[in-house]
Amino acid sequence: MVLENLALLDASMRASDTRSARFVVRCSGIQLSVVYLNDVCPQELLIIRNESRHWLRVPVQSGHNVEPQAIRPLVEPDAPPESVTSPAVRRFLEEFALAIPRTLSNGVERAAAEVILQHSPDVEEPNRIYFAGWFPLGREAARPQSPNLQKTRRVFGQDAYELCLHLQMASRWTDRVEERQPFKLPE
């Protein structure tokens, strides 16, 4: 199903050079926190059920298309994966599509690194969710490691990923909130 409002939000984000957005929607009586990552391939929606902290990573295909089967675990968590998509899932997805904000405005904010990483257990050192600056690798032969680069790309986008490669730098991460630093691309 094509999420037309997501396409409009994506255009608004790109116009303001924003790579991640966080917003809250209510669908079928369920409050959801949603993080949209538009600078990863494929793009992603992280959908978090607020009352249960259950979350789901949903790939967004070209044309801002989402497969109903990808949403199913959120709506029908006990349904077998091979079963046919139910009308309830389709109705939920239709309601969700209309609830997505069309622009960056009140109620839509840039997603913090820790919010993205709390729902990304597949990244390097998943307990270290706070950005702590940049680490120059210094040696001529040193290169940033792939897991660190993937974490950097997931949170800060393709530009940060490529800059780390070019400048031979790695992002630093900590599990201590007091060591958190504001994000700024390395120079």
Each domain of the chain, given as residue ranges in start order, spans 4-111, 114-179
Confidence class of residue 158 from pLDDT cuts 50, 70 and 90? Answer: confident
b/e burial code for range 165-178 (CB count within 10 A of at least 16 → b): eeeebbbebbeeee
Whether residue 24 contacts residue 33, with contact meaning beta carbons closer than 8 Å, is answered with yes
**How far is residue 105's CA from residue 60's CA, in Å, rounded to a whole number?**
22
Under the banding of pLDDT at 50, 70 and 90, the label for residue 6 is very high
Q: What is the C-alpha separation between 28 and 86, in angstroms, rounded? A: 15
pLDDT in tens, 134-144: 988 876 657 78
Greater pLDDT, 149 or 53? 149
- pLDDT value at residue 12: 93
Q: Extract long-range pairs of 90-98: CB within 8 Å, 24+ residues apart.
A: 90/1, 91/28, 92/27, 92/28, 93/1, 93/66, 93/68, 94/1, 95/27, 95/28, 96/3, 96/25, 96/27, 96/32, 96/71, 97/1, 97/3, 97/4, 97/5, 97/6, 98/5
**Distance between CA atoms of residues 93 and 89, nearest Å:** 6
User: What's the pLDDT score for residue 23?
Assistant: 94
**Strand 20-27's sheet: what is its strand order?**
20-27, 30-37, 43-49, 55-60
Predicted local distance difference test score (pLDDT) of residue 13: 93
User: Does the pLDDT value for residue 174 go beyond 80?
Assistant: yes
Answer for the pair 108, 5: CB distance below 8 angstroms, yes or no. no
Q: How many residues does the chain have?
A: 187
CA 108 – CA 159 distance, rounded (Å): 22
